[in-house]
């Protein structure tokens, strides 16, 4: 079965410093991977997606993620945090085979806090 594990439930950074949110995946096939962001009282928004093209994926708001097959990782990074980045971030894998093909499988989330 496919799954994702977000290694940190909470990450705190200072404004202007780099952000690293870690995600490992489990999949027997080449996975489709996503990062979503959830701001308080707002809907989930897609940040970026990997679907077997370039391994370094650029998303919105300066975020990017690198797919590393050898490490089964898909960590999310940003060079310089902004106060508006404070939110909950979800690593997601799409089920690409079996009866649940197409369904999104979410990690438990990482809450990012940004200190002034």
Determine contact, residues 91/69, Cβ cutoff 8 Å: no
Nearest distance, CB of residue 48 and other proteins, angstroms? 11
Q: Does 7 bind other proteins (CB under 8 A)?
A: no
Nearest distance, CB of residue 18 and other proteins, angstroms? 24
Q: Does 55 bind other proteins (CB under 8 A)?
A: no
Nearer to other proteins (CB atom), residue 35 or residue 67: 35
Distance CA 114, CA 79 (A): 13
Q: Does 44 bind other proteins (CB under 8 A)?
A: yes
Q: In the block, which residue shows the tokens 């919105």?
A: 60
Q: Does 40 bind other proteins (CB under 8 A)?
A: no
The string of DSSP letters for 68-98 reads EGGGTEEEEEESS--GGG-EEEEEEEE--SS
Instruction: Name the site residues for other proteins (rule: CB under 8 A).
Output: 36, 41-46, 49, 90, 92, 99-100, 102-109
């Amino acid at each position: 079965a496919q799954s994702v594990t977000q290694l940190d439930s909470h990450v705190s950074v200072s404004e202007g410093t780099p952000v690293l949110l870690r995600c490992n995946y489990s999949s027997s096939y080449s996975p489709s991977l996503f990062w979503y962001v959830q701001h308080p009282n707002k809907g989930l928004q897609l940040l970026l997606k990997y679907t077997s093209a370039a391994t370094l994926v650029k998303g919105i708001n300066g975020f990017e993620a690198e797919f590393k097959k050898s490490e089964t990782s898909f960590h999310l990074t940003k060079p310089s945090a902004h106060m508006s980045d404070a939110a909950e971030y979800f690593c997601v894998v799409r089920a690409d085979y079996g009866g649940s093909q197409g369904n999104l499988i979410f990690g438990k989330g990482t809450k990012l806090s940004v200190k002034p």
